[in-house]
Structures are given as C-alpha cells and as structure tokens.
Amino acid sequence: MTSTTTKGTVGDGLLHDESIHAAFNTIVEKVGEYSAQITEVREPTAEIATDFKQMLTDAGKIKGRPLMYPSISSGVGNGALVEMADGSVKWDMLTGIGVHFLGHSNPKVIKAQLDASLLDTTKHGNLQTSYDAVTFGERLIEHASKNSNLAHAFITTSGAMANESAIKVCYQKHAPASRVLAFENCFMGRSVTMAQIGDSAGGRQGVPLSTLVDYVPFWNKDQADAMGGATKFIDYTINRLEQYHARYAGQISTFIFELVQGEGGFNVSNPDYLKALMEFCKAHGIAVWADEIQTFGRTEQMFAYEYYNLGKYIDVCTVGKMTQACATMYTEEYNPKPGLLSGTFTGATVDFTVGNVLLDELSAGGNYGPNGKFAAHHAEFSKQVAALVAKHPDWFPETAGIDGFCGGLGGMMRFTPFGGDKKKVMAACKEAYKQGVICFYCGHGPFHVRMLPPLLAMKMEDWPRVFECMERALAKVAAGKS
C-alpha cells in the first residue's frame, strides 16, 4: 500500500479495503504468470507483422516523422526483457532513459499502479493533490539532505520543467544577474530556455537566442595530461571563469553542473576539478546547481554530488527520469518567494506511487558504494566490452578523446566501437535493436553506444546474453551489412 490519507475518512477506508487489495494481489499474480513466459530474445512473429507495420505507419503519421526505433511495446516484459508489439523480445538496455529502471512487469510497480487507481486525483497540481506527492517530495529531501543542505522540493512533470524551475530560483536569488555558466557539450532539455543552454546547435535551430550562456570545458584527462596535469587544467578553467567574471561582473546567476555528462558522452569528471569550480562560484556569489536529471540513482551513490563528496556546495539540484515525477530541490537560502513556482500539473498519481517504490528499492541497501551492486554491474559491463575488444580489435581502433573503449559510472555505461564514427555508431544501435538489444548513442565526437540498463532487475548472468546480441550487431556493421 503506497497511497496515504488522513485516518477516519471515507477515503482512508477505500485505500485500506482488504477486499480491493486482495483483488489487486490476484491481478499482480496474473501479470506475473504472463511475465514469466518471457525468458529470452525472440524474433518478430510473422503472423502479426502486417498489423505491426500499420501501427508504425500510424505512429509516424501522427508524429510527422517515423519513430526513431520501431519500438512499440506489447505491454509486458520480464525484468530486463521486454516484448514488443511485433512479438519480438529484446533486452532493454535503455529503459526509456530511466522510467523502467525497476525492470518490466515488476510486481511492486504493478501493485503501486493499482494503488494509484483508487485515488480520484488523476493529475496532481497547485490547486488539487493527494498526499502522495507530498510524501514523494519529503522522501527525496530526506535522502538529499543526508549529505547536503537541500531542504525543499518543488515537484513537476519533466526534467526540462524541473530545470526551468531551477533557473528561475537562481535568477530570483541573484537578480538582476541573467547570465549562466555551463559545461561544453551539456544537455539541459527541450524547452526554449533549456535548448539555448544545451550545447547542441541542432537542439536550438530556429530558436531565438535570449538566454546568455558562457561555456567552460568539462573535465578531460587527455587534455589535462597534455597541459601537464590536473592542476594545469584546473588553473586554465579557473582563469576562464575569472575572465567571465571580470567581463560580466555581477551578471552571472548560476553555474549548471552536470556531474556526469549524459548526452555529452557519459563523461565522468574529476572531484578536485569540480570542487575548484564550485569554490570559485561560492567566492563570487554564483549559485551552484547540480543537474542530476540523468545521474540520480545511477552512480555509486544515490546522488552524484555524494559520489564526488561535494554536497556542501550544492544550492539547487534537479532530479528526474527514473524518479517518474521530477523535482527541483533547493536550500533554505534559495527558497523562492511566493508566486515564482507553480503549475497546473505536478504529475499523475501513479508517478508518485511508483516513484515511492523506486526510492524504497534504491535505499534498500547493497546498491551503492565501490563494492555495491551498481559498481559490480559496471565492472561486468566493462569485462564484456574488454572481451569484445580482444576478440575483434579491428572494430575498436585507437580513438582520440576517450580514455579506454568503455566508460561511464555505475548504471551510466558507454563503449566506443568504430573509432566513434557517428554513422557507424548509429548503425550499430539500430542493428542492435534488430538483434535483440535496445540501446542508443551519446557524445558529440567521438560518438558512443550508450546503455542505461534496469540495474534493479538486471542479473549478472544476463550480461553475456546481451553482448552475444551486441556482437552480432557490430559484426553486421563491420561487414557493411547493416
């Protein structure tokens, strides 16, 4: 039971009706029976190919372009495996960029979804809510405040909207400052403002530029080594910041920190580098904003700022994707004035019931730390990549701009075949889908194959099976048959 209300109300009786929950448990068991039928990768079913092709055509027509992948699920899966509407079964190594981190047809998720169906509040917002949204925010802050000064959470519907709330909080605190600092190759979301901050020309093509952004380099070990070490690279970047500060004195409101870059290539930073930049911000009245939309829950700690031991510097933090509902968190000092943050919708009831289950599972123990489950999965992923490199060295030529052929941190995993060539990497991702693995690409040159697997459902013995499919896909691309 994940939904709560006050004792003694009619609603309390409904939410705790034993006969209803007995029926829910029967549904969960029945879903489990169907889910258990999915045990391995499967080819599409020829008999339903025509119907599925029509579904894809209709989807493309409505959207105005074909789907990126012919990826429409049937509605059931089993852990890291998911069945598609064409009858095929695939390893889901992308999880919708996080929404299936608990795996497919997870019985706890099914039960939480059923619990949500009892509440008459389908969509929560500024003027109507149930207590589930409060509980979700309260629990986020409980975890976030263990190693930071974060004290409040404003819940919203998407990562981009969480970031929109964050930038408003920073603007208001440091008004009239209107400039922002960000890392090169960052990604912030698809809203008008976030598209301008994100370092991608394609993401803002045709968008009027009204947001004032200055970029500094993300940590790069190769560049640091070429300069003479980490200290030289830190000094170089601090000098850039000093130039910006001198040029725009009093005009810089915030520095947006992607602690591990997502779309930029699953790039992992250096803690001393981040610390030096954050200390500069603190010394010059610039808000430190940790964008953890993609990192939350996936690194070797629940928050990436905990992994780097930087919590004391954080003024604002955004989380999303795997959390279901998204949130902007801020310290008491950055608590905005009434009227700045509001919204018709903060999320659906199911976002909060499932989001609370996710927080339960993440905090259950054994997931985090250098010897935790997520670190062990990353080590196994790296082992599988190393085996591929040893077996097919011609697929993995020396590639400038990367430190090894695989990288990332915890549940953020990437590897770099074909020298990071964009066309071949994208072809590899599409061929992997055909061979039974859902993955995607990231980076801005070199490009990488990206995985965000459902680590709370993934088994160690799944990895060789995943990479059998990946090997077939890479072989097709290498042979020019994709």
Count the residues in the chain.
Answer: 482
pLDDT at position 6? 82
Q: What is the mean pLDDT of residues 179-200?
A: 96
Q: What is the mean pLDDT of residues 199-222?
A: 94
pLDDT at position 114? 97
- What pLDDT band is residue 63 in, cutting at 50, 70 and 90? very high
Cα 116 from Cα 136, distance rounded (Å):
13
Residue-range domain boundaries for the chain: 37-98+373-482, 123-362
Query: Is the model more confident about 50 or about 114?
Result: 114
pLDDT at position 3? 66
Q: Give me the chain's average pLDDT, please.
A: 95
Q: Please state which of the four CATH numbers 1.20.140.10, 3.10.580.10, 3.40.640.10, 1.10.150.20 is assigned to the domain occupying 123-362.
A: 3.40.640.10
Domains 37-98+373-482 and 123-362 in one fold? no
pLDDT at position 2? 59
- What pLDDT band is residue 338 in, cutting at 50, 70 and 90? very high
- What pLDDT band is residue 308 in, cutting at 50, 70 and 90? very high
| Percent share of the chain, pLDDT over 90 | 89
Q: What is the mean pLDDT of residues 99-114?
A: 97
pLDDT at position 128? 85
CB-neighbour burial class of residue 341 (10 A; exposed 0-12, middle 13-18, buried 19+):
buried
pLDDT at position 88? 96
Q: What is the mean pLDDT of residues 68-75?
A: 90
Tokens 């090169």 -> residue: 184
Residue 294 in this model has a pLDDT that exceeds 60:
yes
Residue 4 in this model has a pLDDT that exceeds 80:
no
Cα 4 from Cα 131, distance rounded (Å):
6
Report residue 148 as tokens.
Answer: 């930071």
Q: What is the mean pLDDT of residues 441-462?
A: 96
| Percent share of the chain, pLDDT over 70 | 99
Cα 303 from Cα 466, distance rounded (Å):
27
Q: What is the mean pLDDT of residues 217-237?
A: 95
pLDDT at position 181? 98
Residue 157 in this model has a pLDDT that exceeds 90:
yes
**Single pTM value for the model:** 0.95
Q: Please state which of the four CATH numbers 3.90.1150.10, 3.65.10.10, 3.40.1110.10, 3.40.50.1980 is assigned to the domain occupying 37-98+373-482.
A: 3.90.1150.10
Residue 224 in this model has a pLDDT that exceeds 60:
yes
Q: What is the mean pLDDT of residues 433-442?
A: 96
Residue 78 in this model has a pLDDT that exceeds 90:
yes
